[in-house]
Amino acid sequence: MSSTPSPTRQLTAGSTRVTLFDPFAGPPRINSARRVGVRPGTELIHPLAVTGERPLRFEVDGLPEGLTADADGILRGTAPGEPGDHEIRVRVSNAVGTSEATVQICVGSVLALTPPMGWNSWNVYGERVTAEVIVKTAEQMVANGMRDLGYQYVNIDDHWHADSRADDGAPLANPDTFPGGIRPVADALHALGLKLGIYSDAAHLTCGKCFGGFGYEKIDATSYAAWGADLLKYDYCYAPRDRASAKARYTAMSQALKATDRSIVFSVCEWGRRKPWLWAKDVGGSYWRTTLDIFDTFSWLFFGVRGIAHRNLKLADYAGPGAWNDPDMLLIGNRGRGHVTSRLKIGPKGRSTIKLRGLDDAEALSHMTLWAMMAAPLLASHDLATGNDLDTALLTNPHVLAVNQDGLGQQGRKVRSAPGVWQLVKPLANGGVAISFTNVTRMPRTVEADISGLVPTGELMVIDAWSGEELGDVRSLAAKLGRHESVMYVARPVGAATA
């Protein structure tokens, strides 16, 4: 049995070593989340997400009636009609090895048992999103291995809409940019084993002034389900300021979604203004934005990675399986090219614009480290054709993604550490722990930490997550961190599962 990914190229982000793993080389590694939520009697599409040399041979035992695994390891079918957990045993072999894992299909009301992973159109395409962009991105996610590392959702954000609804009130897609409507897009994604996300707003208009969902919850939810949607991001522009109204409006849409025959993850996007961590879970939200929109910068006040992480880190108590704090999408790969994220509007009425250069290599690595450690939804949002090798390495590191997707579902917490260095600790389901250090200052810092009090007793295997190097049974960690650099380690009891 083997689960060590196959390294291909050694890169650096600042002084941090990063390995670019080839997702199609080496022995099989099962990257799927170990717990998958689905509502009773609804469609399940779930890729077992296996990297390694092709061809792969899948053996899946214990699937409940109604579900099958296809030759690409994608579970498909209809979930059992009654709530309950089903353990399936997965064995995958190829010419160089075999890997085994147990995956739980949890039939019930809770979806997103691990943070959703995928892609969203907004940061890079803004109002220019089209059906072609969505399908092309989905194909790229299969071709570049992202699907096999666990990325599943391809989310259409604002501006998919026609100018107005149909005469009967049904939502309509823009006939120029989505010529066949949304359904063929969902079909194309589902055929690849991926899922479709759609977007609306709890008012009469969306933030981009397309028609919103308020008052049309039932017909919208029914239409989204008929189109094959698997996720709805529900924004809050043009809606009343108070929390009671927000709760009522999110409840109305969540109930409409639950009345459909699909499992639709509900993403609450009111930017943290009404403390959604206190109520969004109760109104059916699977994750909720905790801040305003992220911009492509590390340290620009609260718009950048550091400010957003600073706020999100304080909310660790509220995160858990099925209910995640969302510090907004990933900027990795944008490098200042994002149509939306690289232009920060400031001043009276936002009349002045600052052009942002984007994250440098070390900052991009720190961004991914923090989001993985915070159990944040991982939604890439760049043109997948333009990311360089380092961006790919940052988005597809199996050790880092396994920490984010860990079944215990704990958000990493800040523990005491050196001034200017954030030390985060995230307990893992296998009894181990992930530990990261981020230098949030512009000056070099030295980190020396005795981790004995943080890790389990007994023999340990510590790995450097970004390089994949096995460090053995060590209890003290030391690193020199340049401006905005991070390091990340995973310590697991010897003999425990790697993920």
Q: Which of 235, 296, 391, 464 is catalytic?
A: 235
In the block, residue with structure tokens 């994250």: 359
- Segment contacting ligand GAL by CB under 6 A, of 32-40, 43-51, 130-138, 200-208: 200-208
Neighbours of 30 (CB within 10 A): 24
Query: Minimum distance between the CB of residue 293 and ligand GAL, rounded to whole angstroms?
Result: 5
Query: Minimum distance between the CB of residue 269 and ligand GAL, rounded to whole angstroms?
Result: 5
Instruction: Return the biggest CA–CA distance within the chain.
Output: 68
- Residue window 77-116: x/- pattern of binding to ligand GAL, with contact defined by CB under 6 A: ----------------------------------------
User: Please, is 180 exposed, middle or buried when counting C-beta atoms within 10 Å of its C-beta (0-12, 13-18, 19+)?
Assistant: exposed
- Segment contacting ligand GAL by CB under 6 A, of 76-84, 99-107, 140-148, 201-209: 201-209
Give the one residue of 243, 293, 299, 300 binding ligand GAL; rule: CB under 6 A: 293
Is there binding between residue 373 and ligand GAL (CB under 6 A)?
A: no
Is there binding between residue 360 and ligand GAL (CB under 6 A)?
A: no
Is-catalytic flag, 261? no
Q: How far is CA 17 from the centre of its chain?
A: 23
Q: Are strands 343-346 and 460-464 parallel, antiparallel or unpaired?
A: unpaired
- The Cα 205–Cα 217 span in angstroms is 13
Cβ atoms of residues 309 and 317 within 8 Å: no
84-94 sheet: strands from edge to edge = 35-38, 97-107, 84-94, 57-61
Q: Which of 22, 70, 72, 293 is catalytic?
A: 293
- Residue window 254-273: x/- pattern of binding to ligand GAL, with contact defined by CB under 6 A: ---------------x-x--
Neighbours of 275 (CB within 10 A): 15
In the block, residue with structure tokens 């072609």: 132
Cβ atoms of residues 101 and 74 within 8 Å: no
Query: Minimum distance between the CB of residue 206 and ligand GAL, rounded to whole angstroms?
Result: 6
Residue, CB closest to ligand GAL: 207
Is-catalytic flag, 85? no
Give the one residue of 43, 217, 220, 235 binding ligand GAL; rule: CB under 6 A: 235
Query: Minimum distance between the CB of residue 346 and ligand GAL, rounded to whole angstroms?
Result: 17
User: Please, is 266 exposed, middle or buried when counting C-beta atoms within 10 Å of its C-beta (0-12, 13-18, 19+)?
Assistant: buried
Cβ atoms of residues 36 and 113 within 8 Å: yes
- The Cα 221–Cα 33 span in angstroms is 27
Is there binding between residue 157 and ligand GAL (CB under 6 A)?
A: yes
CB of 53 or CB of 293, closer to ligand GAL: 293
CB of 350 or CB of 453, closer to ligand GAL: 350
Cα–Cα distances in angstroms (integers) from residue 197 to residues 83, 265, 275, in the given order:
25, 9, 24
* Helix, coil or strand: residue 308: helix
CB of 51 or CB of 121, closer to ligand GAL: 121
- The Cα 173–Cα 414 span in angstroms is 44
User: Rg of the chain over CA atoms, in angstroms?
Assistant: 22
Is there binding between residue 146 and ligand GAL (CB under 6 A)?
A: no
Token pair listed for 91: 């064995």
Is there binding between residue 158 and ligand GAL (CB under 6 A)?
A: yes
Query: Minimum distance between the CB of residue 209 and ligand GAL, rounded to whole angstroms?
Result: 9
Query: Minimum distance between the CB of residue 201 and ligand GAL, rounded to whole angstroms?
Result: 8
Q: Are strands 153-155 and 117-120 parallel, antiparallel or unpaired?
A: parallel
CB of 208 or CB of 427, closer to ligand GAL: 208
- Segment contacting ligand GAL by CB under 6 A, of 148-156, 203-211, 308-316, 445-453: 203-211
Give the one residue of 21, 58, 122, 318 binding ligand GAL; rule: CB under 6 A: 122
Give the one residue of 11, 207, 421, 435 binding ligand GAL; rule: CB under 6 A: 207
Tell me the torsion sign for CA atoms 169, 173, 174, 175.
negative
- Segment contacting ligand GAL by CB under 6 A, of 43-51, 206-214, 302-310, 435-443: 206-214
Length in residues, the chain: 499
CB-facing half-sphere around the CA of 287: CA atoms within 13 A: 32
Give the one residue of 77, 208, 431, 482 binding ligand GAL; rule: CB under 6 A: 208
* Binding-site size, ligand GAL (CB under 6 A): 11
Residues marked as catalytic: 235, 293
Binding residues for ligand GAL, rule: CB under 6 A, are: 122, 157-158, 206-208, 235, 237, 269, 271, 293
